[in-house]
Structure 1
Amino acid sequence: MNRPPHPDWSGWHDLPQQHYLIEPRCLAGGGDLRHITEHLRASGWKDRSRAAGPVVFDHPDRGLRVGFDPAPPGRWTITGQASGHQPPWEAKFTARTPVEIIAGLTDALTQPPSAHAPNVWAPLDAQGWTTRSGQHVTATSPDRNAFVQFHQPSPGQAHWWIGARNEHGRAWDAELSPTTPLYLVQALTTALADPRPVMRPRGMFAPSDRIRTTSVSLRPSELGAWQQARINSARAATWARNAWATARPRSPRPSTAARVPAGHATGRR
């Protein structure tokens, strides 16, 4: 008796799935936390998270921390301890802040600062944002959906206030202390103003008349390859920095041998 061939199940787990490219990215919703955490892990940060508790990653020298508390309403908190002339600083993001925007700041934490003087407003100007000066300095996106403000409610008090709004109201907010290093604020505004769309699975973004969606069909393996490329890039950059630090020539230590005054040569006996 001839039996039908056994069905091949090998490709069933890799069937195409529907995703959407969302524009503008500021209204795409929170996204996958691993976009941030796996990059930190690949960059040598230590995972201090507890099961069913907040997500916590520490820089190897413990001077920097990135955390996400999932308890409602949910919040990202990123802190830097005082170091040298740099005072302590803090940045907080509500849960619906797109991870790609937060990653602008967290990715910058894994890299050495640029030698160029930072300009927070330059990335916004380059994308046509409108800036108004006064007691507060405020930049607004061309579509009026997002803003960046250096907010100074009274003398001696100030903070960075960043956020997005849609027709339903507040989408997300971020608040940064005025001591936050400006190169990190610039990295954040660069990610915020980036015109490229971000991807979300079906059902994982809030409906809004202000977003534009493009349906794409992706296999899990394709999505995984893209995510792995980001991780591999972080690992390679970390390895290169560590290799350079190890190979960097060190200044010779002062000799501990007793100095012999000129004209008093010594010889072996």
Structure 2
Amino acid sequence: MRKGQWQGWGAGEQAEQHYLVEPRALAGGGDIRHVSEFLRASGWQDKSKKGGPLLMESPDRAVRLSYDPYTQPGGWTIRSAAQGNQAEWWAVIGRQAPVEIVAGLTDALTRSRSAHAPNVWAPLQEQHWHTQFEGPHYTATSPDGTAWMHFRQDGDGNALWWSGARDERGNGWTAQFAPSTPMHLVQAFSAALASPEPVMRPRGRVPHSTKIRTTSVSVLPSQLGAWQQARIAAARAATWACNSVRNPRPRTTPRPHAGAGAFRAHR
């Protein structure tokens, strides 16, 4: 275990011990707000019931995301209704999947598709994952053997994607994608899965495994808040820019009731 310390501490704050964990695929679930607050800042609506599982809906109401920790096996479910030429699709991800990897897919839901053809395997090859062919089936495995991405075709020619991670005790998670899941979303997931960047977990939230490496760091609450706000601000800025492109013309007609009554305080 290595130790480090962030610079620029403020007066009156008590530093907290956290750990940078790698490989990220074995870091455990993490704080689901990493996913939900980014979507909220991107215009998604929170449809959760009090005391119930997380449920969020995209601005166009086509995509729904849920996180349920109360059932077995529990975890993340993303479903989309059919839109134009895109058939309905789904993705199911286990609850021990790190939120940073889940966000690879969910963040991509808030962005426009790239003009380039998606390549699920490219991010894995860039990080030197091992590849294996078995007829029409294809598997990529992380260098340490703990994470994988698997592709196969069923008897009808439908593409089946399966991913996940396991430590030496068999603890871990899996993810499955519908044959109709857009490939740019699967690529965004694989890029987050293969990223060599460690993820941060607070003390007491680091899984016990000989397969992970940790670096102890002291972090101020204000620093954690600043990092979280930077991510939320980026989502808001991207949403504002996207809406500006879609609606470039400024409002030219006065709003109704623009007189003194418009300045009443709202609770």
- Is the structural similarity TM-score above 0.5? yes
**Whole-Å Cα distance in 1 between the matches of residues 31 and 222 of structure 2?**
17
Residues 156-176 of structure 1 show CA distances to partners (whole Å, capped at 9, x for unaligned) of: 454210000110014000010
Checking the alignment, whether the CA contact within 8 Å between 1:53 and 1:70 is kept in structure 2 is: no
Aligned partner of 2:258 in structure 1 is none
Opposite residue 52 of structure 2, the aligned amino acid is G
Normalised by the size of structure 2, how large is the TM-score? 0.86
Give the drift of 1:244: 1.2
Normalised by the size of structure 1, how large is the TM-score? 0.85
**Whole-Å Cα distance in 1 between the matches of residues 206 and 137 of structure 2?**
32
Opposite residue 39 of structure 1, the aligned amino acid is F
**Whole-Å Cα distance in 2 between the matches of residues 136 and 152 of structure 1?**
7
Residues 86-131 of structure 1 show CA distances to partners (whole Å, capped at 9, x for unaligned) of: 1010000111000000100000000001110000000000000111
Q: Runs of 5+ in structure 1 lacking a partner?
A: 1-9, 250-269
**Whole-Å Cα distance in 2 between the matches of residues 199 and 26 of structure 1?**
12
Coordinate RMSD, CA, aligned:
1.6
Opposite residue 68 of structure 2, the aligned amino acid is D
Which runs of structure 2 are paired with 1:144-223 in the superposition (5 Å)?
144-152=145-153, 154-156=155-157, 158-223=159-224
Aligned partner of 1:18 in structure 2 is 17
Aligned partner of 1:95 in structure 2 is 95
Opposite residue 15 of structure 1, the aligned amino acid is Q
SS of aligned partner of 1:247? coil
Q: Runs of 5+ in structure 2 lacking a partner?
A: 1-9, 251-267
Opposite residue 170 of structure 2, the aligned amino acid is G
**Whole-Å Cα distance in 2 between the matches of residues 117 and 154 of structure 1?**
25
SS of aligned partner of 1:100? helix
Give the drift of 1:243: 1.0
Aligned partner of 2:120 in structure 1 is 120
Give the drift of 1:75: 1.3
Give the drift of 1:151: 3.1
**Whole-Å Cα distance in 2 between the matches of residues 168 and 155 of structure 1?**
36
Instruction: For CA contacts below 8 A with separation 6 or more, give which structure has more relative contact order.
Output: 2
Which runs of structure 2 are paired with 1:1-269 in the superposition (5 Å)?
14-73=13-72, 74-133=74-133, 134-152=135-153, 154-156=155-157, 158-247=159-248
**Whole-Å Cα distance in 2 between the matches of residues 114 and 104 of structure 1?**
15
Identity of aligned residues (%): 57
Opposite residue 103 of structure 2, the aligned amino acid is A
SS of aligned partner of 2:247? helix
**Whole-Å Cα distance in 2 between the matches of residues 98 and 248 of structure 1?**
41
Checking the alignment, whether the CA contact within 8 Å between 1:23 and 1:211 is kept in structure 2 is: yes
Change in Cα spacing, 1:143 to 1:84, as seen in structure 2 (3 Å) is: same
